[in-house]
């Protein structure tokens, strides 16, 4: 019997070309500053509620790094915690607020995309993390 395991949830990515068609110009990822829609390698782009201003697009790599870090039980000891802290400052949020936004977004994505047989386990984990943020 195989077990499905999810370590993070991200929105469906679109191509750099699609992003440029939507926003009508090229974009640089506001977080890593390395990915651009007009460069040769396209790793994908997502809309994220982490962005507090328009456009809300970030590169898929940053989304994965942030969302996977925010889902970890040992969040503050994660190697990418400093990245999350820097992004929170950039967005004018504290780390707990940014983490909460990321977890709620993952909760919404998971509710749509997880198979029923594993949905409750992972949604429960996200809910517990959200509760720990509210209490802490």
In a domain, 3, yes or no: no
Give the pLDDT band of residue 107 (cuts 50, 70, 90). confident
Domain extent at residue 82: 16-135
Residue 59, beta-bridge partner list:
45
* Whether the predicted pLDDT of 2 surpasses 50: no
Let me know if residue 4 belongs to a domain.
no
Identify which of 28, 48, 47, 49 has the alpha carbon closest to the alpha carbon of residue 37: 28
**Between 122 and 18, whose confidence is greater?**
18
Domain membership flag for residue 33? yes
- Residue 108, pLDDT score: 83
Average pLDDT over residues 4-12: 73
| pLDDT surpasses 80 at 103 | yes
Please report whether residue 35 resides in a domain. Answer: yes
Q: What is the pLDDT of residue 112?
A: 67
pLDDT digits over 34-73, tens only?
Answer: 999 998 789 999 999 999 999 999 999 999 999 999 888 7
Position 10 in a domain: no
- In a domain, residue 55? The reply is yes
Domain membership of residue 6 (yes or no) is no
pTM above 0.75, yes or no: yes
Name 42's Cβ contacts closer than 8 Å, sequence gap at least 6.
Answer: 15, 16, 17
Tokens (6 digits) for 1 = 């019997």
- Residue 96 falls inside a structural domain: yes
Report the number of distinct structural domains present in the chain: 1
């Amino acid at each position: 019997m195989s077990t499905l395991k999810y370590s993070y949830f991200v929105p469906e990515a679109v191509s750099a070309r699609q992003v440029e068609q939507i926003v009508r110009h090229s974009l640089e990822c506001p977080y890593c500053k390395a990915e651009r829609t007009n460069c040769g390698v396209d790793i994908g782009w997502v809309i994220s509620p982490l962005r507090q201003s328009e456009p809300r697009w970030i590169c898929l790599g940053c989304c994965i790094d942030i969302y996977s870090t925010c889902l970890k039980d040992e969040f503050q000891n994660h190697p990418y915690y400093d990245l999350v802290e820097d992004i929170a400052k950039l967005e004018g949020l504290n780390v707990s607020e940014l983490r909460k936004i990321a977890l709620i977004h993952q909760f919404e994505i998971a509710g749509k995309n997880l198979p029923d047989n594993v949905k409750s386990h992972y949604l429960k984990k996200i809910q517990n993390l959200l509760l720990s943020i509210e209490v802490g």
